[in-house]
Amino acid sequence: MEEITNFISRIENETRKSDSFALLPFLERVSGYKPYLSGSIIGFGKYHYKYDSGREGDSAVISFSPRKQNLVVYIMPGFDKIEGLLQELGKHKLGKSCLYINKLSDIKLDVLEKIAKLSVQYMQQKYRCKNA
């Protein structure tokens, strides 16, 4: 945990830093997994994937990264089945599995919690997930 705290402490943008310190226990509680640092990504839980191509590896069940431009929460199943929740969330942008948030005060945390829980539940049903 000290490694993660040191990583977040080095973030220059004060809002991004405080939002990261808030997301850390939030995602730990919501996911039920302990956090770990992988490069610039803070992950919670792990699962093993294997594609039809034969490529395989391990990835986080849910994670976030405090980037210079925004916070990115990685919602692994994507967003196809949660469009209604996204409309309630507040100001955000989407990538394939990336939820881009400028600052936590732009969104409704209770809606983010629902999105995160659904994502974790989906991953747990599809994969054997475990703590890192």
Average pLDDT over residues 19-41: 97
**Element of type H or E holding 2:** helix 2-9
33 band by pLDDT with thresholds 50, 70 and 90: very high
DSSP 8-state symbol, 118: H
For residue 58, which of 67, 48, 71 has the smallest C-alpha distance? 48
Strand order in the sheet with 93-94: 35-38, 41-50, 56-66, 71-75, 98-101, 93-94
Which structural domains are found in the chain, ordered by start? 2-126 (3.90.1150.200)
132 band by pLDDT with thresholds 50, 70 and 90: confident
**Residues with Cβ within 8 Å of residue 46, at least 6 apart in sequence:** 58, 59, 60, 61, 129, 130, 131, 132
Percent share of the chain, pLDDT over 90: 90
pLDDT on residue 1: 84
Beta-carbon count within 10 A of 44 CB: 26
pLDDT on residue 39: 95
Two structure tokens written together for 56: 């395989």
pLDDT digits (tens, 9 = 90+) for 42-55: 999 999 988 889 99
Percent share of the chain, pLDDT over 70: 100
For residue 24, which of 9, 16, 35 has the smallest C-alpha distance? 35
